Structure 1
Amino acid sequence: MKDIKVIGSEEWCIFEEFGIPAIKARIDSGAKTSSIQANNIQLITKGTEEWARFEVNPIQENRSITITCETKIFDKRIVKSSSGISEQRYVVKTPVTVGEDTFDIEMTLANRDTMEFRMLLGREALIDRYMVNPSVAFIQTDFTSEQITKKYKSFIREKTGLKIALLASNPELYSNKRIIESGIARGHEMVFLNVEQSYMKLDATRPEIRYRGGNIIDAFDAIIPRIKPSVTFYACALIRQFDSMGAYCLNSAEAITQSRDKLLATQLFAKHEIQIPITGFAKSPLDTKDLIKMVNGAPLIIKLLESTQGKGVVLAETNKAAESVINAFKSVQTNILVQEFIKEANGQDIRCFVVNGKVVASMQRQAVKGEFRANIHQGGSASKIKITTEERKLAIKAAKILDLPVAGVDIIRSNKGPLLLEVNSSPGLEGIENATGLDIANIMIESIEKKLKFQV
């Protein structure tokens, strides 16, 4: 027992291998394994070994200091969080220094942004080394705030670029990763903000937006919204708040709202004399037969107003089938559009990517055999295509009508000429970048620079 030291409820830890000069840890003998805060965890391969690359924000409530770490993966374990949710975590093994002692510990990589401490030191690290005195803290080492500032001075960079936030839900999506990469490559500070972990304070004098854990986030030059349909209402409220606080939003809340309301968008297109497939909308089942007749009968398309990526879109091949599907949707109070089927398109459509009033890329999508929608998410293929002048003008006009600086405009070729299918306010990048070989993410970042008159 003479070699057992006393440790407090909180202690400073140093990880020389990771280049972390100090990180405050909660001493928790109730937890078996230690844990460290880790963001943007990536699995990489070095020879035959699996390694993890991850980012640590070692100072609580300070996301501006980020340390990138790489280490070999020691294990993978199922861990139950304090909220009772089980998840698989990577386990790493690395030396840690506490006071005068340096020893190896196993740690899980976990998102601890909502926790009070960036690190937790568990009982495996304490056994045969320490006894915990929960009534005191920093027995082994105590750093002043001035010492911590000095230790992290080299990590605080002068602002040389813009500070841009990507407001979305999944940082692992191809499009989101590409935008972050392109922004960093152009010298900007890029931050991923999860829509559902952001919240706002409405106040005439000091409005705020806060992020998980209570961090105030109000110093962004620009916001890039990439909003999934299920969070449109809340995300647009956040975008309006960012806009009122002076941040430039690449697509405004009003524009996104209009694009997501397929009925309103269709009415706006028709009002501005944009050619669209004949479309019908009705409330009462008594009107179903005439509704079908109005769009030239079966086969016809039935789509939910909130459909996206080809989901919620049905082909009815006969009038009887159409009547059954329409009435089924109406019986559960679901709003739908009924649209004529363009048979001569042969399962093909064109996606035009519009940025600031220009078509910067276009691709042709081909549906898989047996399908009628050319959607890559449902197995369709894509190839580069040269669009006509008429199609280019149609795409630009459609994006302008909805006031979208960035838009994915879907067009179908018919015997009557090009017809507008719909406009997407959060268009994916993977398909069109792979099909065209163009760096669309870089073009989006450039458009922000131009808007804000930023000189690279």
Structure 2
Amino acid sequence: MQQEYSKIVVGSEEWCAFPKLGIPAIKARVDSGAKTSSLHAFNIQTFKKESEAWVSFEIHPLQQNRRIVVRCEAKIIDRRRVKSSSGTSEKRFVIKTMLRSGGEHWEVEVTLTNRDSMGYRMLLGREAMKGRVLVDPDESFCLGEVSDTELEVHYPSEPGENSGGLKIGLLASNPDLYSNKRIIEAAQQRGHHIEFFNIKQCYMKLDAVSPEVHYRGGRVLNNLDAVITRIRPSLTFYGCALSRQFESMGVYACNRSDAITQSRDKLYSLQLMLKSGINIPTSGFANSPIDTSDLIDMVGGAPLIVKLLEGTQGRGVVLAETRKAGESVINAFKSLKANLLVQEFIKEADGKDLRCFVIDGKVVASIQREAAPGEFRANIHQGGTASVIKITPEERKLATLAAKTMGLKIAGVDIIRSKNGPLLLEVNSSPGLEGIETATGKDIAGMMIASIEKKLGWKRELATAPKQV
């Protein structure tokens, strides 16, 4: 250990440990430009211990690895507003605990925040180094490295398929999509055996005595505990039939086939919303081209939105800025025998909408999506941007009621702000995770798996950290 002026010398990154939290090894980014130290944490919960406020949380101690989880508890010493390097401000719990690195150990204050989007699970700020540490930014691991063998001892490999976790099937089309990879990762991290099944390669045996679902090559899928259905619009009919087959066999589906079916019918879903007292933009629907002019008048004239009923992710949505343009677009779509809606254009929304992610009747995350330059509709799949936003109680109530009306346990609810209050745009039964996880830093995929665990009454066992003294 190198020393100068009785201070230890550290590099730009160092291995350290938090013995009282039960974390034997974690790589820290040393940043003298940051005032406060921070530690990765999720599933943060407060509780009372001997009349004092404590916090429990879970942590992925290794970079690029969400499968290894350590559960920690610590006494809360403060709650402070901290601004991250990205400029986002949030209120964080502060704990005090012992840090060990090399042969040295001392007490530090750290804030708890989700650092999944960061390169390091730990950031060591200058307050924790004051009077004790000198930083050599050209060096790394001055206090020693931790080998892969040592990490394997500290964090043994997670158990395999027969570990007692749930058997979950992910029914989708593309295993490489961010959302599908994150769901698989989250399920494995929580100790479950999850497998991707391509919807088009599943087939069914309808039988009163022994119904079955087979996968390519004749493999029988009758031993699953749960299925997560993420059906692309073009496969709605077959995907829902497949989900229905699993449901008839007693396999839990987090979103049932009937809920997905009605959410995919945009016209029917809007009619159900109105029946439940949920406000939507004024909309019109017709079949005959003869009624085009009156249809446009129904929604207040131009500008107006023309929307294909089977469109998704912003495709099949057109802004007609003039009446003539509206008539042309509507008649062109009708000539192709396409079903469409026309809706009033909410000018004051200014190309922004809200995406609320609802799980089990609660809004667990919300973002504001803003249209790309030159576009009129917010869509992160087409160059739009997403940012964290605090929704109003009225918007929260609308989102949860919309998901409930559709019968969806997991839903992405899209809302637009108008001068007359929030209006529902649509409810998505297979909401994407990338935009909302990236913007909020929340483990939405983990929350989805936790919802299945709760429904099936499954509890995982985590090693609890030693109590602080």
Map of 1:76 onto structure 2? none
Q: Cα distance, 1:158 vs. partner? A: 3.1
Q: Cα distance, 1:331 vs. partner? A: 1.5
Match of 1:231 among 235, 256, 270: 235
Q: Cα distance, 1:174 vs. partner? A: 0.2
- Output the aligned Cα RMSD: 1.0
Map of 2:257 onto structure 1? 253
Residue by residue, what CA displacement relative to the aligned partner does 1:277-336 show, whole Å, maximum 9, x if unpaired? Answer: 000001111111111011000100000000100000000000011011111111221110
Map of 1:425 onto structure 2? 429
Q: Cα distance, 1:369 vs. partner? A: 1.1
Q: Is the alpha carbon distance of 1:423 and 1:156 closer, same or farther for their aligned partners in structure 2, counting shifts above 3 Å?
A: closer
Map of 1:370 onto structure 2? 374
Q: Cα distance, 1:262 vs. partner? A: 0.3
Match of 2:206 among 202, 209, 219: 202
- 1:348 paired with 2:359, answer no
What is the rounded CA distance, in whole Å, between the counterparts of 1:183 and 1:381 in structure 2? 28
Map of 1:336 onto structure 2? 340
User: Structure 2 counterpart of 1:329, which letter?
Assistant: F
Match of 1:302 among 294, 306, 317: 306
- 1:321 paired with 2:358, answer no
What is the rounded CA distance, in whole Å, between the counterparts of 2:321 and 2:411 in structure 1? 31
Please show how residues 159-238 of structure 1 align to structure 2 within 5 Å: 159-238=163-242
Unaligned runs of 5+ in 1: 1-154
What is the rounded CA distance, in whole Å, between the counterparts of 1:215 and 1:159 in structure 2? 22
- 1:453 paired with 2:457, answer yes
Q: Cα distance, 1:156 vs. partner? A: 7.8
What is the rounded CA distance, in whole Å, between the counterparts of 1:381 and 1:332 in structure 2? 33
Match of 1:396 among 394, 400, 407: 400
Please show how residues 53-72 of structure 1 align to structure 2 within 5 Å: none
Q: Cα distance, 1:157 vs. partner? A: 5.2
Q: What secondary structure is seen at the aligned counterpart in 2 of 1:274?
A: coil
Q: Which has the higher contact order (CA 8 A, sep 6+)?
A: 2
Map of 2:248 onto structure 1? 244
Map of 1:383 onto structure 2? 387
Residue by residue, what CA displacement relative to the aligned partner does 1:333-389 show, whole Å, maximum 9, x if unpaired? Answer: 111000000000000000000000000000000001110110000000000000000
Map of 2:124 onto structure 1? none
Q: Cα distance, 1:272 vs. partner? A: 1.3
Residue by residue, what CA displacement relative to the aligned partner does 1:182-204 show, whole Å, maximum 9, x if unpaired? Answer: 00000000110100000001111
**Does the 8 Å CA contact 2:226/2:254 hold for their aligned counterparts?**
yes
**Does the 8 Å CA contact 2:352/2:371 hold for their aligned counterparts?**
yes
Residue by residue, what CA displacement relative to the aligned partner does 1:6-56 show, whole Å, maximum 9, x if unpaired? Answer: xxxxxxxxxxxxxxxxxxxxxxxxxxxxxxxxxxxxxxxxxxxxxxxxxxx
What is the rounded CA distance, in whole Å, between the counterparts of 1:326 and 1:219 in structure 2? 49
**Does the 8 Å CA contact 2:368/2:389 hold for their aligned counterparts?**
yes
What is the rounded CA distance, in whole Å, between the counterparts of 2:281 and 2:411 in structure 1? 20
Please show how residues 111-190 of structure 1 align to structure 2 within 5 Å: 158-190=162-194
What is the rounded CA distance, in whole Å, between the counterparts of 2:173 and 2:338 in structure 1? 26
Q: Cα distance, 1:254 vs. partner? A: 0.4
Unaligned runs of 5+ in 2: 1-158, 461-469
Taking structure 2 as the reference length, the TM-score comes to 0.64
What is the rounded CA distance, in whole Å, between the counterparts of 1:388 and 1:360 in structure 2? 14
**Does the 8 Å CA contact 2:360/2:451 hold for their aligned counterparts?**
yes
Map of 2:115 onto structure 1? none
What is the rounded CA distance, in whole Å, between the counterparts of 2:372 and 2:383 in structure 1? 6
Match of 2:297 among 293, 298, 316: 293
Residue by residue, what CA displacement relative to the aligned partner does 1:223-258 show, whole Å, maximum 9, x if unpaired? Answer: 000110010100000000000111000101000000
Q: What secondary structure is seen at the aligned counterpart in 1 of 2:278?
A: coil
User: Structure 2 counterpart of 1:286, which letter?
Assistant: I
What is the rounded CA distance, in whole Å, between the counterparts of 2:187 and 2:372 in structure 1? 35
- What is the aligned residue count? 302
What is the rounded CA distance, in whole Å, between the counterparts of 1:171 and 1:158 in structure 2? 23
What is the rounded CA distance, in whole Å, between the counterparts of 1:177 and 1:331 in structure 2? 40
Q: Cα distance, 1:271 vs. partner? A: 1.2
Q: Is the alpha carbon distance of 1:329 and 1:307 closer, same or farther for their aligned partners in structure 2, counting shifts above 3 Å?
A: same
Q: Cα distance, 1:273 vs. partner? A: 1.4
Match of 1:438 among 430, 437, 442: 442
What is the rounded CA distance, in whole Å, between the counterparts of 1:288 and 1:282 in structure 2? 8
What is the rounded CA distance, in whole Å, between the counterparts of 1:439 and 1:227 in structure 2? 22
What is the rounded CA distance, in whole Å, between the counterparts of 1:364 and 1:157 in structure 2? 39
